[in-house]
Amino acid sequence: EHAKVRGSRHNTGDGHRAAIDLGAQAFGQWTGCHATPIDIDAPAVGDLQVTDQMPRRSYTLGITVNVDGNRFVDEGEGFAEQTFVKMGQAILEQPKSIAHQIFDSRALPHIEARYGGSKRVQAETMRGLAAELGADPDALTRTVDSFNAEAHEDEYKPRNLDGLSTETLGPPKSNWAIRLDAPPFTAFTVTGGITYTYGGLRIDRDGRVLGSNERPISGLYAAGEIVGGIFYHNSLRAAGLMHGSVFGRAAGAHAGAAVRGQA
């Protein structure tokens, strides 16, 4: 209910509903979505002028905490290109679907340029930062202290998986676990922006929509985001357009053949 949508405001499920009313089978992970961390002030639905400026994917540096001041995800599991979908979903599952990305002066020069336009909070101490964020100073200080106790004294090399990891912390930080102790500290508040959802209709190899009896519904085809069962829990970059093209072509070929009486 707190989620922002990165895509069209017109995609509200009409196609799904119409097909399901015809007996189409709902399929895939209806609780899952492709998401990304985005600026808390991003528009509620996609806006072509600004949507591309809204992702906030430098979380591999520094730490990410929820509104209670606790870490909740391995920020350094891999490069952001590999993990931002999981990170976006994890943020959506946090209280109020809000998180704070916290950097120190060592990390800040490495963050993406598109953070430039977003609101930031800065303080010389972690307690001061917590106060500015409206977070519990004790909880945030505890989180940072326990992170720093296992983090390394090193420099950021954002394009290398540096293997600098925590040892016992839960959740761990598997790379770029570098001490967060060089003031000033800067926080950006983010939420998860939904790109597309994973649940949808069941189709066969020809893009025909299957009914709950597993048989194709005559004359009904689907391809693209309306299809379910393509992704579960995570998805690959650029795979959205790819599966739409693959199944769109298959559906078109079958529909054409059916019209010619050849299917």
Ligand X SMILES: Cc1cc2nc3c(=O)[nH]c(=O)nc-3n(C[C@H](O)[C@H](O)[C@H](O)COP(=O)(O)OP(=O)(O)OC[C@H]3O[C@@H](n4cnc5c(N)ncnc54)[C@H](O)[C@@H]3O)c2cc1C
By C-beta, is 15 or 137 nearer to ligand X?
A: 15
By C-beta, is 7 or 229 nearer to ligand X?
A: 7
Give the residue closest to ligand X by C-beta: 224
Q: Is the peptide bond before 171 cis (omega within 30 degrees of 0)?
A: yes
Q: Is the peptide bond before 184 cis (omega within 30 degrees of 0)?
A: yes
By C-beta, is 20 or 139 nearer to ligand X?
A: 20
Nearest of 158, 157, 125, 161 to residue 144 by alpha carbon: 125
Nearest of 132, 1, 135, 111 to residue 56 by alpha carbon: 111
Q: How far is the CB of 55 from ligand X (least distance, A)?
A: 9
User: Where along the sequence are the contacts to ligand X (CB under 6 A)?
Assistant: 6-8, 10-11, 14, 46, 51, 195-196, 224-226, 238-242, 244
Tell me the torsion sign for CA atoms 66, 86, 171, 179.
negative
Eight-state DSSP code of residue 25: P
Q: How far is the CB of 9 from ligand X (least distance, A)?
A: 8
Q: How far is the CB of 6 from ligand X (least distance, A)?
A: 4
Q: How far is the CB of 4 from ligand X (least distance, A)?
A: 11
By C-beta, is 14 or 81 nearer to ligand X?
A: 14
By C-beta, is 8 or 105 nearer to ligand X?
A: 8
Q: How far is the CB of 50 from ligand X (least distance, A)?
A: 11
3-class secondary-structure state, position 70:
coil
DSSP string, 95-112: GGGEEEEEE-TTTGGGS-
